[in-house]
Chain A
Amino acid sequence: MSDQNTNPRTEWPLWEIFIRGQHGMSHRHVGSLHAPDAEMAIKNARDVYTRRNEGVSIWVVEAEKITASSPSDKGPMYEPSQSKVYRHPTFFDIPDDVGAM
């Protein structure tokens, strides 16, 4: 521990920042920043990403805690939904006489 504390190369961890805009939206990823802990990450996110009222709520997640799908899985990962066109309403022909549906 003392070793880490005196090592000048110890970088603050990287945090991914998610912000909820004004209009009842979900939190959205806006970028990342470095901070020693979650509390400071939120304070820094306020200064870096909401200087013009861009948000009403901030989430911070340590970057290394995020698990992401890999782009090379794209095919096998999403293929199952491609063959199920009936999940979309346009699959079904409904006569105009039926009215709005």
Chain B
Amino acid sequence: MYAQMVKSENTDSGPELDAFQARIDAGEKIEPKDWMPAGYRKTLIRQISQHAHSEIVGQLPEGNWITRAPTLERKAILLAKVQDEAGHGLYLYCAAETLGVSRDELTEMLLDGRMKYSSIFNYPTLTWADIGAIGWLVDGAAIMNQVPLQRTSYGPYARAMVRICKEESFHQRQGYDIMMKMAQGSEAQKRMAQDALNRYWYPSLMMFGPSDKESVHSAQSMKWRIKINSNDELRQKFVDQTVPQAEYLGLTVPDDNLRLNPETGHYEFSEPDWTEFFEVLNGNGPCNKERLEARNKAWDDGQWVRDGMMAHARKKAARAAASKVAAE
């Protein structure tokens, strides 16, 4: 997902831990100042930050088309969508900060590659149809994961998710709306829509992460309620929901093995290429280098603005203090 393959820390034991687990089992929310196991804190910092970084880096592939959107209305909509993603990043960073990590530390860890972001944002957006496919498939997959996380055990994370989920369905709908337009358009537009689906289908399936049937990390995270469903469960749900939507568009899901199992009522489908997934996650995807360079450049180029505004704020405060003294 936006937080893929998050390693969970093994944790200390003792009576405090039992009481903590009992609170989680009772559906209570854990709040920033409450006692929590070091492993819970560390795993959450990793997971929430990775999610935040994904929202921020996720602006880049779509941002690529803001200046070239086909109409002024499409441009305004895409701009609002991308601005929402910046907001999502900020909600999540502030949730992570309640766990005792600073914003600058998080940013630095993204910029020097110590922290990851979702594999999906390392794919290029080659045509306008890709913007449709991203809203429809990528935001669609994100929603699958984020809706249950509204019930996660950590209060600030759960509340950030509630805000995010409220905004996501606009994202998915604007994407599908683009796809409908393209799929009903000229032959060239239809080809473009099909091509976007072809390129984004498997990377979207990868968003849920590899099967976690035997993963110890998943078991611990589920016990802590910072992971609610298994990767396979969510992927299946995504496929079941998305295939009929593709059919409605008159597009073909690029999978010869795709078929509806009449007994289970679920689609059977091909696994994505997991070697490709690990390559992308390890920095060797088509756009990894470009994405990190863009983030680093934005950070470096913005330094004088951040410094300047801080200097201005201090000067203003000093002036206000001086004039107060003079008045007394």
Interface flags, B66-105, vs A, CB<8A=1, else 0: 0000000000000010011001001100110100001110
- The B interface, classified by DSSP as helix, strand, loop or mixed, is helix
In the bound complex, do residue B313 and residue A36 qualify as a contact, i.e. CB atoms below 8 Å apart?
yes
Inter-chain contacts of B34 with A (CB < 8 A): 71
Inter-chain contacts of B31 with A (CB < 8 A): 71
In the bound complex, do residue A5 and residue B307 qualify as a contact, i.e. CB atoms below 8 Å apart?
yes
The segment from A10-18, A79-87, A89-97 that touches chain B is A10-18
Inter-chain contacts of B306 with A (CB < 8 A): 12, 36
Query: In the complex, A9→B90 CA distance in Å?
Result: 19
Beyond A71-B31, A71-B35, 13 additional pairs, beta carbon < 8 A: A6-B307, A11-B102, A31-B91, A31-B159, A31-B163, A36-B310, A47-B83, A47-B87, A48-B87, A48-B90, A51-B84, A71-B33, A72-B35
Q: Is B298 an interface residue (CB 8 A)?
A: no
Query: In the complex, A52→B167 CA distance in Å?
Result: 9
Interface flags, B91-124, vs A, CB<8A=1, else 0: 1001101000011100000000000000000000
In the bound complex, do residue B84 and residue A5 qualify as a contact, i.e. CB atoms below 8 Å apart?
no
Inter-chain contacts of B311 with A (CB < 8 A): 5
Inter-chain contacts of B156 with A (CB < 8 A): 31
Q: Is A56 an interface residue (CB 8 A)?
A: no
Closest residue of B by beta carbon distance from A72: B35
In the bound complex, do residue B94 and residue A33 qualify as a contact, i.e. CB atoms below 8 Å apart?
yes
Given A6-B307, A8-B303, A51-B87, also A14-B97 (CB < 8 A): yes
Closest residue of B by beta carbon distance from A69: B33
Closest residue of A by beta carbon distance from B30: A71
Instruction: Give min CB distance, B221 to chain A, whole Å.
Output: 23
Query: In the complex, A72→B34 CA distance in Å?
Result: 8
Within 8 A of A (CB), among B286-305: 303
Q: Is B312 an interface residue (CB 8 A)?
A: yes
Inter-chain contacts of A77 with B (CB < 8 A): none
Within 8 A of A (CB), among B147-191: 156, 159-160, 163, 167
* Chain A contact residues, CB within 8 Å of chain B: 1, 4-6, 8-12, 14, 30-34, 36-37, 40, 47-48, 51-52, 68, 70-72
Closest residue of B by beta carbon distance from A17: B94
Query: In the complex, A33→B102 CA distance in Å?
Result: 12
Query: In the complex, A70→B317 CA distance in Å?
Result: 32
Interface size of B in residues (CB-CB distance below 8 Å): 32
Q: Is B266 an interface residue (CB 8 A)?
A: no
Inter-chain contacts of B97 with A (CB < 8 A): 14, 32
In the bound complex, do residue A68 and residue B316 qualify as a contact, i.e. CB atoms below 8 Å apart?
no
In the bound complex, do residue A10 and residue B103 qualify as a contact, i.e. CB atoms below 8 Å apart?
no
Q: Is B322 an interface residue (CB 8 A)?
A: no
Closest residue of A by beta carbon distance from B102: A11
Query: In the complex, A6→B31 CA distance in Å?
Result: 36
In the bound complex, do residue B103 and residue A31 qualify as a contact, i.e. CB atoms below 8 Å apart?
no
Given A14-B97, A32-B94, A71-B34, also A5-B314 (CB < 8 A): yes
Instruction: Report which of B95, B103, B167 forms a contact with A11, defined as CB distance below 8 A.
Output: B103
Instruction: Report which of B33, B159, B307, B313 forms a contact with A37, defined as CB distance below 8 A.
Output: B313
A6, A31, A48, most chain B CB atoms within 10 A: A31
Instruction: Give min CB distance, A46 to chain B, whole Å.
Output: 11
In the bound complex, do residue B317 and residue A37 qualify as a contact, i.e. CB atoms below 8 Å apart?
yes
For the complex of A and B, 9 pairs with smallest distance between CB atoms: A37-B313, A36-B313, A36-B309, A32-B94, A11-B104, A36-B310, A5-B311, A71-B34, A31-B94
Instruction: Give min CB distance, B27 to chain A, whole Å.
Output: 17
In the bound complex, do residue B87 and residue A37 qualify as a contact, i.e. CB atoms below 8 Å apart?
no
Inter-chain contacts of B317 with A (CB < 8 A): 37
In the bound complex, do residue B103 and residue A68 qualify as a contact, i.e. CB atoms below 8 Å apart?
no
Instruction: Give min CB distance, A13 to chain B, whole Å.
Output: 9
Query: In the complex, A31→B35 CA distance in Å?
Result: 21
Inter-chain contacts of A72 with B (CB < 8 A): 35
Query: In the complex, A33→B90 CA distance in Å?
Result: 7
